[in-house]
Amino acid sequence: MKMSNLYLPTLKETPAEAEVPSHQLMLRAGMMRTLTAGIYTYLPLGWRVIRKVEDIVRQAMNESGAQELLMPIIHTAELWKESGRWEKFGPLMIKFQDRKGRDYCLGPTHEEVITALVRGEIRSYKDLPVNLYQIQTKVRDEIRPRFGVMRGREFIMKDAYSFDRDYEGLDRSYRAMYDAYMKAFTNCGLEVRAVEADTGAMGGSESHEFMVLAEVGEDRIAFCDSCSYAANVEKAVAGEREVSGSEEMKEMEEVHTPGQKTIEEVSEFLGVDPAKTIKSLALLADGEPVLVLVAGDDQLNEVKLANYLAANELTPVADEDFEKYFSSTPGFIGPVGLEGIRVLADLRVKDIVNGVAGANKTDYHLINVNPGRDFIVDEYLDLRIVKEGDPCPKCDGKLEIKSGIEVGHIFKLGTKYSESMEATYLDENGKEQFIVMGCYGIGISRLVAAAIEQNHDEKGIIWPKAIAPYQVIILALGDDEEVVKVTEELYQELTARGVETLLDDRKERPGVKFNDADLIGIPLRITVGARSLKNNTIEARVRRTGEEIQLELENTVDKIIEILDRIE
């Protein structure tokens, strides 16, 4: 493509609307433009990258045996009511009516549509297994779209759905997708870690997320520094911590702690290690009050709690509602002497000896509190967010925490949807069975943003070759006849040999061309100017490394392809 004809509006300055590097660079490099928050137009350069990623993903999917199809974006409400998610997904869906007043939504995901499709076709165990996928625009009315295409309200997703006769089959399908995903991400030139994940609104049993490690990532991931354990912190579990020494239980006492509400305040006021305080959190789980206890130096993991309680919604008890459940103001509640409220505690609370807790009396705390002796916990379970340095649950290592961008997510759904939507087959005995399902997503547009987060410098994007919009950019410096002739020939020949090449033939000064080439991140730059032509050479420069190579004007195209071949 000749750049004099390319619709490539690059920006010299960073738009005020963009905060993170990938968002800024996608706008500056002329890859996309904003329509409104979370909704974007892909310009020719950006679309090329999207298509590259799609093709790589498509190939990995096809090789795994999955088959591509295309489902509608418009879904009927009946389907979603059938699965029970019309209400559950609720505000996340864009809903509307047709002229007859019938309800629809724009598809945020496609379990319902695919299940409705497949249940009509699959009758026998002989029809299984099957894995169907599509690459399509998804629509989700996100509460807070942000970071450009990282979390958009409209985004491109590859979603696949597997159908098996049993759980062994599902395990095989799941494994095949896991492998295909790793392959697709690697082929895109990305460094991705697979981590154990929570299943969230999709439901199901097992789940992995594929994470691109990046500072701007919205997810936090816990890694073991010595074994392969890795999990989203929503899911991560820490190993047993050593309990230091044994201490005699002392007699419980009430102490005056005026105005000391937070753990920090109380522990400082009483001169006690925060780990020995018991943090009491009053929550409503779908409206039911529950008191949750965690050690003062821990944070409650609400995902774990919500999963355990099978609650859709967890909200803190509002300050003004405290008197409904407690005899003190916020900051002084605790488990001792509390009645009529379910009490759950993190496992670490069990080990606290002579701890501190709220006295259920405004401006008072209790010291030398001992679980079991002074109060009863209905259930102990793992409820805390793991921290940097926590022991690994699988080995003797320690956990590290890093930020990541979720570019893929795979789920073992089991029969969640086949049961609610009655998707069944007949086994060898003629007995009706529910189809066992899995679902698998890759955020194509998010992956592009993640690739930029992982591959950029102060000058701009540095595309991995596999997803670069073009592999080579030829800069024609000046309009010297010889320069025009040489660049034109190079361009024609490279293109003829299948190398995707940009020719910067614009009437711009050299600085503009250099800067644009760096900004849009083409892996290999070829510079041709009158000056170098005098020595019968041209210059090649590798975007990622900055390596410069002088090339004699002889078999130049061979040499360029040679250099290109060794670029990642």
Partner RNA sequence: CGGAGCGUGGCGCAGUUUGGUAGCGCACCUGUUUUGGGAACAGGGGGUCGAAGGUUCAAAUCCUUUCGCUCCGACCA
Give the span between the Cα atoms of 277 and 346, in whole angstroms. 13
Calculate helix-pair angle for 481-496, 556-565, nearest 10 degrees: 60
Coil, helix or strand at residue 410: strand
Can residue 155 be called a binding residue for RNA (CB under 7 A)? yes
Interface residue with RNA, options 531, 553, 564, 567 (CB under 7 A): 531
Can residue 138 be called a binding residue for RNA (CB under 7 A)? yes
Interface residue with RNA, options 452, 518, 522, 551 (CB under 7 A): 518
Q: Count interface residues toward RNA (CB under 7 A).
A: 67
Give the span between the Cα atoms of 155 and 283, in whole angstroms. 34
Neighbours of 279 (CB within 10 A): 24
Q: Which stretch binds RNA (CB under 7 A): 112-120, 328-336, 462-470, 515-523?
A: 515-523
Tell me whether strands 219-224 and 342-346 are parallel, antiparallel or unpaired: unpaired
Give the span between the Cα atoms of 161 and 418, in whole angstroms. 12
Interface residue with RNA, options 54, 391, 478, 495 (CB under 7 A): 478
**CA neighbor of 379 nearest in space, from 346, 351, 354:** 346
> Shortest gap between Cβ of 4 and RNA (angstroms)?
12
> Shortest gap between Cβ of 197 and RNA (angstroms)?
8
Beta bridge partners of 210: 194, 408
**CA neighbor of 524 nearest in space, from 539, 535, 506:** 539
Of 403-432, binders to RNA (CB under 7 A) are 406, 409
Interface residue with RNA, options 16, 244, 245, 251 (CB under 7 A): 16
Of 187-226, binders to RNA (CB under 7 A) are 200-202, 218
Q: Which stretch binds RNA (CB under 7 A): 121-129, 144-152, 168-176, 286-294?
A: 144-152
Can residue 369 be called a binding residue for RNA (CB under 7 A)? no
Can residue 511 be called a binding residue for RNA (CB under 7 A)? yes
Q: Which stretch binds RNA (CB under 7 A): 125-133, 164-172, 288-296, 536-544?
A: 536-544
Of 313-342, binders to RNA (CB under 7 A) are 313-315
Interface residue with RNA, options 235, 361, 446, 456 (CB under 7 A): 446
> Shortest gap between Cβ of 236 and RNA (angstroms)?
15
Q: What are phi and psi of 380, to 5 degrees?
A: -100, 135
What mask, x for binding RNA by CB under 7 A, covers residues 93 to 112? Answer: ----------------x---
Helix (H) or strand (E) holding 492: helix 481-496
In 55-214, beta strands by DSSP E? 67-68, 74-76, 95-97, 103-106, 130-139, 154-164, 192-196, 207-213
Can residue 287 be called a binding residue for RNA (CB under 7 A)? no
The token pair at 364 is 């008072």
What is the DSSP track for 218-235? SEEEEEESSSS-EEETTT
Of 260-279, binders to RNA (CB under 7 A) are none
Torsion angle of the four alpha carbons 400, 300, 353, 255, in this order, in degrees rounded to the nearest 10: 130
Interface residue with RNA, options 99, 100, 144, 324 (CB under 7 A): 144
Interface with RNA (CB under 7 A): 10-17, 19-20, 23, 34, 36-38, 89, 92, 109, 138, 140, 142-147, 151-152, 155, 157, 200-202, 218, 302, 312-315, 406, 409, 441, 443, 446, 459, 477-479, 509-512, 514-516, 518-519, 527-533, 538-539, 541
